Amino acid sequence: MKARRTTPVKLFATLPSKGYGRLIVRYPYQDDTNYAFAYREAARRLASTFRGDAPDDLILLPFLTLYRQAFELQVKEFIHFLAGLRRQYEGQSADTDRAVLEKRLQKDLGHNLHKLLNEARKHYDALALDQPFPKSIENLLLMLHEADATGTAFRYAGEFPDTQDHIDFPHLVKLLDDEWELLDGVWAWIDDMHQAIPTLDELM
Residue 105, pLDDT score: 92
135 to each of 43, 80, 97, 117, how far by Cα in Å? Answer: 24, 21, 28, 11
- Which pLDDT belongs to residue 75? 97
Predicted pLDDT of residue 6: 81
Burial class (CB in 10 A: 0-12, 13-18, 19+), 181: exposed
- pLDDT value at position 122? 96
Q: What is the pLDDT of residue 165?
A: 95
Global pTM value? 0.91
The pLDDT value given to residue 1: 57
- Tell me, what's the pLDDT at 3? 67
Q: Per residue in 150-163, is it b (16+ CB within 10 Å) or e — as a string?
A: ebebbeeeeeeeee
User: In the chain, which stretches have pLDDT less than 50?
Assistant: none
Indicate if the alpha-carbon torsion angle 61, 11, 48, 137 is positive or negative: positive
